[in-house]
Amino acid sequence: MRALLRLFGAGIVALAVEHGRATAADGTAAEPVTPGIRLNTVGYLPGRPMAASVAKQSGTFQIRRLDDGAIVWEGELSPPRLNADTGEQLSAADFSALGTPPAGDYELIVAESGERVRFRIASDLYREPFRLATQAMSLWRCGTPVHGEHAGEHFEHGPCHMDDALLDFVGEPGRRGPMTGGWHDAGDYNKYVVNAGATVGVMFRAWSDFGPAIERVNLGVPQTTPRLPGFLAELKWELDWLRSMQAADGSVYHKVSAKGFGGMVASDKDADPRFVVPWSSAATADFTAMMAQAARIYAPYDAQFAAECRDAAQRSFAFLQAHPEEHKAEQAAFQTGGYDAPDDDDRLWAAAEWWETSGDAAALAELEERIAATPNVDVDWDWQNLKNLGLLTFLFSERQGRDQRLVDQVRKSLLAAADRIVASSRAHGYARPLGTTYYWGCNGTVARQSLVLEAAYRQTGDDAYRDTILDGLNHLLGRNYFGRSFVTGLGERPPLHPHDRQSAGDSVAQPWPGYLVGGANPRASDWSDRMEDYRTNEIAINWNGALIYALASQLESPRE
C-alpha cells in the first residue's frame, strides 16, 4: 500500500490505495483512485499468459506470493508506448514465465512507485465468475418470484408482469395473450425476440462447445425443470416464452413491451400496461434458428420438448419461405427498444440451423446462396448481424452435401477475422481485442469476439486465438483505462450503480450481481458508474450471454 497526496483547496488529504479502493486519512470514503497498475482483478490461469498494463512508469517489477512473502518473479517493464485511444504512456508487465505456480494470492509491485496490486492464480479461476454470470440470467427471470445470494446479500422480487400481454396491436383489442415468462431484456423490463436470438444463439454455442465443462459447475439454477442440466433449464425458461410469441401461421411477434420505458422501480412494482408488438421477419428468422438449435440440443434430455421445438422451427421456416420479403414490425406506438435491422443475416442463420437440424435440401440451397453473397466472418457483431452464428454452424457441420468451395471460403474468412482480432489485441496498450472501437454495448462485443477466436482455435490448434480470448476477459475484469471490473459483484471496484431498474428499485445497497455493463462510449475514457448513464452503464442479456461464452471457454484447459 502506498500513500498518495491530493490537493483539495488549501488542504492536503492523504489517500491510501489498495486494490483500487481509496480511503481518506480520517477513515471516510474518498473519490476512487485509478490505480497505475491495471490488471485482471479476478486473476490469472496458471500456465497461460499473464500481463498487466502500467501507466506512466518504467523500470522493474516483482511478483510476490502473499502466503509466505516470497518474491517469485522479477522482470522489466516494457518500454512505455503511447496508447492511441486513451492518450496514455503504457508499459506492460508480462509475468507469463511464472508458469504454473501454486494456486493462491499474489501481488504485483512496481519498484519505481512502490505501488502494488493483488491478484489470484488458480486453475478454477473462472468457475465462480461463470456461475455468477449464469445466475444473473436466472435473476432476470420474468413472471416468477426470483431469489439469489451473493457476498452475503439477498436479492429477490415477487412475481412480475403476470398479465403479459395485451393483444391490442395484433388484432384482438382488450384480450391478453399467454406471454408470461422469459427474461427481462436489459435495464428495462421489456422482452424482445431479436435480442433473445443474440443471447440464446451464443449460449447454445457455449453448450455445444463446452457442455461437459459447464455441467461440472454447480450453477444453482432454480429447479423448474429438474430433468435438465441447469444451464439448459435456464435457457428453457426463455425458450418457453419465445414459443408463446409464435402466431398460428408461423410468424413471430417482435416483442412484448410497454409503450415507453417505465420508472426505476422493482419489476414486481411495475404496473405499466404491456403489449404484444406485431410480427417481423427478423424475429421470425431468429425464432426459427433458436428452435432448430433447441430441437437438437434438448433431444437427449427431453424428447417431447425437442420435438415441439422442431415443429415450431419448421412452421416458422415455412412461413419465411412463403414470405421472402423483409417485413418490419409496426412499432409507431412504442418508444422502447426497436431492435430493427435488415433481416438477411437472420434468414441466413435460420436456414443454417434448420438445415443442420433437418437436413432439408431447400434450407441448404438457401443457406449456400446467402453465404455465397456474403461469406465474410465479422470481427465486430451483435444483434444487428447474427450471420456469424449461421456461418459457424455451416463450417462445423458434419452433414453431407455442403459445397466444399464455400466451406473453404468460410474457413479462410474465419481465420482472417480471428487474425485481425489478435492483431488488434497485440497493438493495444490494454490488449483490447476490439482495438480502438467504442460504442453502446462494446463490452458485449469484446466478449462475443470469443466465438470467432474459439472457432479459429478449433480449426487450427493455434494457442494465440485462445490467449486472445483471455485478453478480452482481462480487459473486462480490470485491465482497462479505469483499472476496474465491468461486471457487477465481480473483481475489484465493480460497477455499483448500473442502469438497471431492478437494482435501483430494491432496498439492497449493492447492485444485482453478475451483469456486464456496456462500457466506454464513444471514447475510451467515456464511462461513468452512474445509474443515469444508460449509454455506458446499462446491462443487457446479449452482453451477458457473450460473457457467459467467454467464461465457459476458460473453465478447463484446452489440453484437458
Measured distance CA(58)–CA(112) in Å, rounded: 7
Residue type, 93: A
Nearest to 149 by CA among 415, 390, 478, 508: 508
Q: How far apart are the first and last CA of the chain?
A: 38
Measured distance CA(137)–CA(145) in Å, rounded: 14
Phi/psi at 203 (5° precision): -70, -35
Cβ neighbours of 64 (radius 10 Å): 18
DSSP line for 179-240: ---SB--BSS--EEHHHHHHHHHHHHHHHHHHHHHHHTS------SSTTS-HHHHHHHHHHH
Superfamily of domain 41-121, CATH level 4? Immunoglobulins (2.60.40.10)
Write the CA distances from 121 to 57, 240, 430, integer angstroms. 24, 40, 20
How do residues 203-243 score in pLDDT, each as one tens digit?
Answer: 999 999 999 999 999 999 998 888 899 999 999 999 999 99
Nearest to 439 by CA among 377, 524, 532, 335: 524
List residues bridging with 107 in a β-sheet. Answer: 64, 118
What per-residue confidence (pLDDT) applies to 463?
98
What per-residue confidence (pLDDT) applies to 338?
97
Residue type, 292: A
481-518: b (≥16 Cβ within 10 Å) or e: bbbbbbbbbbbbbbbbbbbbbbbbbbeeebbbbbbbbb
**Alpha-carbon torsion angle 193, 199, 202, 205, nearest 10:** -70
DSSP line for 385-442: --HHHHHHHHHH---S---HHHHHHHHHHHHHHHHHHHHHHHHSTT--TTTT---TTH
How does pLDDT run along the chain (560 residues), one tens digit per residue? Answer: 222 222 222 222 222 233 333 333 333 333 456 899 999 999 999 999 999 999 999 999 999 999 999 999 999 999 999 999 999 999 999 999 999 999 999 999 999 999 999 999 999 999 999 999 999 999 999 999 999 999 999 999 999 999 999 999 999 999 999 999 999 999 999 999 999 999 999 999 999 999 999 999 999 999 888 889 999 999 999 999 999 999 999 999 999 999 999 999 999 999 999 999 999 999 999 999 999 999 999 999 999 999 999 999 999 999 999 999 999 999 999 999 999 999 999 999 999 999 999 999 999 999 999 999 999 999 999 999 999 999 999 999 999 999 999 999 999 999 999 999 999 999 999 999 999 999 999 999 999 999 999 999 999 999 999 999 999 999 999 999 999 999 999 999 999 999 999 999 999 999 999 999 999 999 999 999 999 999 999 999 999 999 999 999 999 975 44
- Residue pair 539/187 in contact (Cβ under 8 Å)? The answer is yes
What per-residue confidence (pLDDT) applies to 7?
22
Q: Which three cell numbers stand for residue 528?
A: 461513468
Measured distance CA(430)–CA(303) in Å, rounded: 47
What per-residue confidence (pLDDT) applies to 32?
54
How many CA atoms, within 13 angstroms, populate the side-chain half-sphere of residue 160? 26
Angle at 72 between CA 42 and CA 477, to 5 degrees: 15
What per-residue confidence (pLDDT) applies to 287?
99
Nearest to 120 by CA among 148, 133, 101, 146: 101
- Residue pair 513/128 in contact (Cβ under 8 Å)? The answer is no
Residue type, 56: K
Q: Which three cell numbers stand for residue 393?
A: 454452424
- Compute CA 342 distance to the chain's CA centroid, rounded to the nearest angstrom: 23
DSSP line for 512-540: PSS-BB----SSTT-----TT-HHHHBBB
Phi/psi at 82 (5° precision): -70, 125
Q: Which helix or strand (DSSP H or E) is residue 133 part of?
A: helix 127-139
Three-state SS for 318-380 is HHHHHCCCCCCCCCCCCCCCCCCCCCHHHHHHHHHHHHHHHCCHHHHHHHHHHHHHCCCCCCC
Coil, strand or helix at 287: helix
Measured distance CA(267)–CA(404) in Å, rounded: 50
**Residues that are catalytic:** 499
Measured distance CA(451)–CA(462) in Å, rounded: 15
Nearest to 35 by CA among 492, 497, 527: 492
Q: Which CATH class is domain 127-149+161-552?
A: mainly alpha
Contacts of 203 (CB under 8 A, 6+ apart): 231, 235, 545, 548, 549
**Alpha-carbon Rg of the chain, whole angstroms?**
24
How do residues 186-208 score in pLDDT, each as one tens digit?
Answer: 999 999 999 999 999 999 999 99
Measured distance CA(465)–CA(100) in Å, rounded: 20
The residue extents of the domains of the chain are 1-33, 41-121, 127-149+161-552
Phi/psi at 429 (5° precision): -65, -25
Measured distance CA(95)–CA(136) in Å, rounded: 33
